[in-house]
A and B are shown apart, each in its own frame.
Chain A
């Protein structure tokens, strides 16, 4: 059976992993390759590097991080942050990334999804969607708006409509972040997850809101997510990946248990 994936997300600034709260109070937490190897040993199923530097220097640094990671870590990893051209996607893949995650550039230019998928295959094109719940007006049904630029600007689009277009354009996976839940540790927006997962047939990765183990299980069952991105819950030391997987296994979810130490 296809296992549910646990995916640690590492924020990379220059050539270092940092952690902070919503881009503030950034602390250096180490070398990306060492952190990647650490999570690999713990049994992470994949890794995501989010390049938060968004500068030319940052771009060169992330290429170096990618190639050093690919030399040492033999699980899939995705790179996101400021990716806006087929050329740069190609560079990241050549340096050893398995997938790229596109967000703002895909909203500006949906053809980038198609061009990326045509060149490199859908399997390596992840589209990240930042979603915020709209205030209910007359309608009683829920809806969510897409935000761009790291959640700064409303994109004027409905999340479900955009998710379907992402799939039709050749996106291989959707990384879905609930801006309302992100950082709250109070659980995922399960209604959002389930609505998107029901609207597309490509896998949905849940992000934003996990504070306890039960939240992860809910995202993978009620929310119908294929995978969960784990940031705060891991970085702040509350749980290890092994804790998470043992819990999910007890809940009857299929997970790949970490290999026994040699």
Chain B
């Protein structure tokens, strides 16, 4: 009865586009910050734009970090988008603390969020190619080298190489998608990436309908 994909209302502004794109591929959706609705979700989309530390503060004020971690542990297909991907990591250098340590993230994936080095135009804005490192149901039917829309100044650096699902070349290659078991994240915006983005969201919907597609994903 409840096959809804829940879009976590993390206080950022672009939720509407994500919801419309999911509806376009046939998903039932709910945008919410309600813990019990999130707990019932069959799939979770965790979007975010803006500042890392501010987003963490909003999540904490809404008491969401615990329920998000529990849902991930319970094996619910979970997709972080842009800042939503970055927030999954241990910390970010986006706002260094007074003692020099990094702003704390949700820490469900080990690694840091780093700023592109000086000399490159930042933010990295526009359409860039995504190069998957292995087959994965999230990229089913999407050829390697397909363009997706990015807009960000920071990128994730997973501690474990195998967490990286795809890379993208911006002077150097950075991690543009991650996957570990039921947990997935993309640095680009599938909801703004035209037909390729809709295909990726449709793939996520298929995973939500049939989580066994992720079998073999460790």
Contact = CB atoms under 8 A, between A and B. Distances in A.
Interface in B106-127: 118-127
27 contacts: A2-B124, A2-B126, A3-B128, A40-B194, A45-B126, A74-B17, A74-B20, A74-B197, A75-B149, A90-B13, A96-B16, A96-B17, A118-B51, A119-B50, A123-B123, A123-B152, A172-B125, A173-B125, A201-B119, A202-B121, A202-B123, A203-B121, A203-B123, A226-B121, A259-B194, A259-B195, A259-B196
Interface residues of A, number: 35
A203 B150 CA distance: 13
A5 B126 contact: yes
B150 to A, nearest CB: 8
A201 B127 contact: no
Contacts of A94: 13, 16
B49 A123 contact: yes
A95 interface: yes
Interface of B: 13-14, 16-17, 20-21, 24, 49-51, 118-129, 147, 149, 151-153, 169-170, 189, 191-198
Given A123-B49, A259-B195, A70 B20 contact: yes
Interface of A: 1-5, 40, 45, 67, 70-71, 74-76, 90, 93-96, 98, 118-124, 172-173, 201-203, 226-227, 256, 259
Per DSSP, are chain A's interface residues mostly helix, strand or loop, or mixed?
Answer: loop
Nearest to B52: A121
Contact of A93 (B13, B121, B152): B13
